[in-house]
A and B are shown apart, each in its own frame.
Chain A
Amino acid sequence: ETGVTQTPRHLVMGMTNKKSLKCEQHLGHNAMYWYKQSAKKPLELMFVYSLEERVENNSVPSRFSPECPNSSHLFLHLHTLQPEDSALYLCASSQDASSGANVLTFGAGSRLTVL
């Protein structure tokens, strides 16, 4: 496989469930990102990992917990979510996290619905 792969593509969960989103990149990139995309709103950066260390955490509620076990894999663990957390969650990777011309390669996203 090439590019950035996200699983599952669709997820429906109750407010008391625990689930995880998975992201895998096959590009040899050193930085990985989680974004939240809601309808008609700008992309919201949630977390950034550079060389497996978290470098950004944009005041995200603790019910979202990221994990980056190696430079190719990124997880987003979800627990006790709220209906307003329903959105498309996009994973992205880039060569590094801090250069100006840094181009992000995105996965197709995980569509999350919280009931």
Chain B
Amino acid sequence: GQNIDQPTEMTATEGAIVQINCTYQTSGFNGLFWYQQHAGEAPTFLSYNVLDGLEEKGRFSSFLSRSKGYSYLLLKELQMKDSASYLCAVRDSNYQLIWGAGTKLIIKP
């Protein structure tokens, strides 16, 4: 079966750095997405990786290793507003999106 694994919950301190990992086993691979979802709000697109390596976008970076079935989302200079759930999703060979259950990130002052 197809599966996406990510930690259920993480806690970090304001101003620090946190890395949220995502591992996947899917039928084929056509890209990996990260979305952010604040409580009671819509998930919003953060990043897309289809080739190996690091994509940087301001305070957020996303890394992909296709050979290891692994990605991480790196958040730097954490702010209280970064408290949210972070969803990892992989598009498989049929262009279906396979979702992880999300990682709830709690930022403490």
Contacts and interface: CB of A to CB of B under 8 A. Distances in A.
30 contacts: A41-B101, A42-B4, A42-B98, A42-B99, A42-B100, A42-B101, A42-B102, A43-B87, A43-B89, A43-B99, A45-B96, A45-B97, A90-B42, A90-B43, A97-B95, A98-B95, A99-B95, A100-B31, A100-B95, A102-B91, A102-B95, A103-B33, A103-B45, A103-B48, A104-B43, A104-B97, A106-B35, A106-B43, A108-B41, A109-B42
Nearest to A3: B42
Interface in A77-115: 90, 97-109
A interface: dominant SS: loop
B13 interface: no
| Interface size classification for chain A | 20 to 34
A92 B63 CA distance: 25
Contacts of A41: 101
Contacts of B97: 43, 45, 104
A4 interface: yes
Contacts of A100: 30-31, 50, 91, 95
A101 B99 contact: no
B15 to A, nearest CB: 28
A103 B89 CA distance: 11
Contacts of B91: 100, 102
Contacts of A109: 42
Nearest to B91: A100
Interface string B13-53: 00000000000000000110101000011111100101000
